[in-house]
Amino acid sequence: MRIGLLGFGVVGKGLYDIAATHPDFEVARVLCRRELTLPDAQVTHDFNDILNDDSIDTVVEVMGGLYPAWDYVKAAILAGKNIVTANKALVNHFYDELLPLVEQSGVKFRCTAAVGGGIGWLTELERVKRVDKLSKVGGIMNGTCNYILDNMTRNGLDYAVALKQAQELGYAEADPSADVDGPDTWNKTIISANIAFDVSLEKASVPVCGIRNIAAVDVAEFTKRGYVCKMMGTAEKGEGGISAYVQPTLVPNGEPAAAVPMNYNLISMVGSNSGPRSLFGQGAGRYPTAYNVAQDCVDVLNGVGFYSAYGAPVAANNDVQLQYYVRGGNVDAELIAEAWGDGILTKPVSVSAMHAWLKDNPAAFIAALA
Ligand SMILES: NC(=O)c1ccc[n+]([C@@H]2O[C@H](COP(=O)([O-])OP(=O)(O)OC[C@H]3O[C@@H](n4cnc5c(N)ncnc54)[C@H](OP(=O)(O)O)[C@@H]3O)[C@@H](O)[C@H]2O)c1
């Protein structure tokens, strides 16, 4: 396999290093913006050098972002090159265009590292589907949120302090919004649901709420009551359709998800024969992520692509009734089940109704009882 590598950052450098140890891979060219000299590959600043090189059969996109990554991926597919990417934003955003294009062009496409970087979650979903029907997928998919929440829970820190520590240790970006406000988990939840259930969910119908408004008083109350707050994405196939949502969730102590430490991920599925299963590991990091990019390259070599999408259902969140901890905002008295410290616990309300309420009360913090 001759690889055109787009991006030489955390994951790109990792893939370059792993490829150097694998007899079947040759990174022929690397696209980057910086001045860079590599012993075994030609560095270019012009994507056309990769596109027009017929000896390059596979493009590995690890630049991130939507543009120009999508322009490059699309052009490469049309030129008959296989695609391996770790870019969850790109995969989710362009899913409906990407999959037909891949199918029509007869190339192979894989994106295992886009969800649960080092875990191999999407590959396992594909394997389960060969034998089982999946009914539920989701879990802790964002290491930054987990690091912050774990630090708050274990050390009683306030959100701002825990975030600052995460930034200093490299677990959070200078602008943490893609993690703490939920878009990262949202992308991963939708991709997982699409692959698990062979659909392409209507993205706007999947609500998302992040952890930005959580405070030490909330965590202290959860601890007192035997709960741990985790940022979770959930997608479930029920009689009324597929529900899908992303929100802080209160997990009872003693459940595996409650014990997930540091920046780790725990992503779970329920299969018709395999039952409930979880994959635990590093959701990010240079070599764990590049490992799955390299595994995808091996699959492409073996002629294994994946993914199919049929229909674009709206996530059916009206029928899912949950109780929510709420602090701040104006909650109708008739919806309140009991007082919880500085907040309240609601009676069961639909996920749709709670997220609609949150739009009018953006300073509030909510967390669902699992
Ligand atoms: N990091 C992880 O652990 C991880 C885990 C799972 C998935 N991912 C996904 O993998 C992708 C890459 O992440 P990363 O952490 O490796 O990002 P990164 O460290 O920021 O690396 C991105 C690289 O792409 C280059 N690049 C960006 N735009 C470019 C352009 N227009 N032309 C040429 N080069 C360009 C950057 O160049 P400069 O150096 O000049 O900016 C940089 O070298 C993202 O989609 C991310 O979501 C990452």
Could you report the per-residue pLDDT of 182-213, keeping only the tens digit for each? Answer: 999 999 999 999 999 999 999 999 999 999 99
pLDDT of residue 224: 98
pLDDT above 90 coverage of the chain, percent:
96
The span from the CA of 25 to the CA of 298, in Å, is 9
- Indicate if ligand 1 lies below 6 Å from the C-beta of 64: yes
- Which tokens go with 206? 């999947």
Average pLDDT of 61-67?
98
- Are 129 and 193 a contacting pair, CB within 8 Å? no
Catalytic residue status for 108: no
In the chain, the amino acid numbered 274 is: S
- How many whole angstroms separate alpha carbon 76 and alpha carbon 50? 9
Whose alpha carbon is nearest atom 40 of ligand 1? Answer: 33
Residue 62 near residue 6, CB atoms below 8 Å: yes
State whether the beta carbon of 88 lies less than 6 angstroms from ligand 1. Answer: yes
Q: With bands split at pLDDT 50, 70 and 90, how would you rate the model's confidence at 308? A: confident
Rounded to 5 degrees, φ, ψ at 171 are -85, -15
Q: What is the pTM of this model?
A: 0.97
CA nearest ligand 1 atom 19, residue? 9
Q: Which of 188, 203, 230, 347 is catalytic?
A: 188
- Ligand 1 centre to CA of 62 (Å) is 5
Distance CA 132, CA 269 (A): 11
Write down the pLDDT at residue 278.
Answer: 98
139: left (phi over 0), alpha (psi -120 to 50) or beta: left
| Percent of the chain predicted with pLDDT > 70 | 100
110 C-alpha vs ligand 1 centroid, how far in Å?
A: 17
Query: Which residue's alpha carbon is at the smallest distance from atom 47 of ligand 1?
Result: 87
Say how far apart CA 257 and CA 265 lie, in whole Å: 9
Q: Which amino acid is at 8?
A: F
Distance CA 306, CA 325 (A): 39
**pLDDT tens for each residue of 112-144:** 999 999 999 999 999 999 999 999 999 999 999
Asked if pLDDT for residue 19 goes beyond 90, the answer is: yes
Cα(190)–Cα(182) distance, rounded to whole angstroms? 12
- Ligand 1 lined by 9 (C-beta under 6 Å): yes
* Residue 323: predicted pLDDT: 98
Ligand 1 centroid, distance to 86 Cα (angstroms): 9
CA 95 – CA 108 distance, rounded (Å): 15
**60 CA → ligand 1 middle, Å:** 11
Check: CB of residue 140 under 8 Å from CB of residue 146. yes
- Protein residue closest via CA to atom 42 of ligand 1: 9
**Amino acid (1-letter code) at residue 110:** R
How far apart CA 268 and CA 251 sit, in angstroms, is: 14
Q: What is the pLDDT of residue 315?
A: 93
CA of 262 to the centre of ligand 1 (A): 23
Average pLDDT over residues 54-61: 98
